[in-house]
Every structure is written in C-alpha cells, then in structure tokens.
Amino acid sequence: MRAIFQPSSAPSASIAGTIFIHITVGVLGLGELGLTAALECVRQGYRVRGWSNTLKSVEGIETSAGLSALPDILGDSDILVCMLPQTPQTRGLLNAERLAQMKRGAVFINVSRGSIVDEPALIEALRSGHIAEATLDVFASEPLSPDSALWAMDNVLITPHLASVALPGSAAQQIGENVRRLRSGQELLSRVDPRRGY
C-alpha cells in the first residue's frame, strides 16, 4: 500500500551507513523540536535546510528566515517537515501557492499543527502527484472526518497525533529541574512566550 520514497533527483539513497547527501530535508521551524529533528537528519547524513521566523546559525544546517526565503527551501527540499508553531503568522502559511512551490515529487510531513496547511490544496497536490507522499499527524479539524479524502489516498500515511509521548521518568526530571531553577532564581527551561505565541 505504501511506496518507499525514491526521489528522482536522489540516485544514491540506500541502507546501512550510506550518506544521503543527495536528499535534501527541509525543516520548517527550528524551535526545540524542529532543531532536534534537523540535527538528527544531519547526523544520519542528509543535507538539511532549516527555515524559521528568525535567522539561526546551526552547524551542519543551511538556515534561512523570513517569508522571502520560504520559496527557496520549498523548491529545494526532497522531504519537507513542518514543525512550526501555530501563530497568527503561520496559520494558512502553506497555502495552494506555496504548496505549488514545492519540488515536484517531494514528500511532505506535518507533525506541527493542521491549521498551517491548506488541506484541500494539499489533497489536490497529492492527487496530481506534485507532492508524491504525505505523512500527517495533524489536521485542520481533529479528529479527521471519516469523510476526508485523505483516508482513501494510498500516498498518505495518517498517524494518530501521537508524534511525541511524555514518558513519566523524563517528564518528572524536566519538572524537577524547573522547580530547582525556580527556587534558585534561574530562568526556567522550555518557557512559552505569550508574545510570540509559542
């Protein structure tokens, strides 16, 4: 039912130790989770490009920022991973026009928020083959309607919005560390900034 991704422009992708330098992974959103994913792709040998609201300098990742830089990363990525936060600026960011800027035959992965993507435009791009495959963990409306065309598409993998599971041991360590920091007057880890929306 599912095909293995084999981009036409990436002739040498294979298993066990091969460097995937001919496959470009674009990561939209270089926050804590996006940066972790991007660095893991670098570690695996992929060429990685990252895009965020503000420019970051990260060793091994070609970074860019701002709306003017978005078309370039969309058109260059064989695999595009959306890890953006939901903010007024990101809502509807990946509309029909921007999805059309993606490299033909690319794979799209969304593990952030469904509202960032124009779902009808994504369905059309998947039907036409412009986007070869998609893995979707989030949707504009959740749970995904049983009537959604996405359920019947062979080139779509739907996951149950469980991209991350909080393990009690690690969660307790993070909470404990923040309690310690609070008591000692240090800045807390993983703070949400209401002005930024994430």
Tell me: cis bond preceding 194? Omega within 30 of 0 counts.
no
Going by their DSSP bridges, the two strands 106-110 and 61-65 should be labelled as unpaired
What per-residue confidence (pLDDT) applies to 73?
98
**CB within 8 A of 59, min separation 6: which ones?**
none
What per-residue confidence (pLDDT) applies to 75?
98
What per-residue confidence (pLDDT) applies to 197?
67
d(CA 191, CA 56): 19
Active site residue 2: no
Predicted model pTM: 0.80
Cβ contact 30:24 at 8 Å: no
What per-residue confidence (pLDDT) applies to 3?
34
From the list 22, 98, 104, 161, the catalytic residue is 161
- Type and span of the H or E element at 97: helix 96-100
**CA 60 to chain centroid:** 18
From the list 43, 104, 113, 196, the catalytic residue is 113
* pLDDT profile of the chain (198 residues), mean per 10: 39 47 94 94 95 95 97 98 95 98 97 96 98 96 94 94 72 87 89 71
d(CA 139, CA 148): 10
Active site residue 22: no
What per-residue confidence (pLDDT) applies to 20?
67
What per-residue confidence (pLDDT) applies to 27?
98
| Average predicted confidence (pLDDT) for the chain | 87
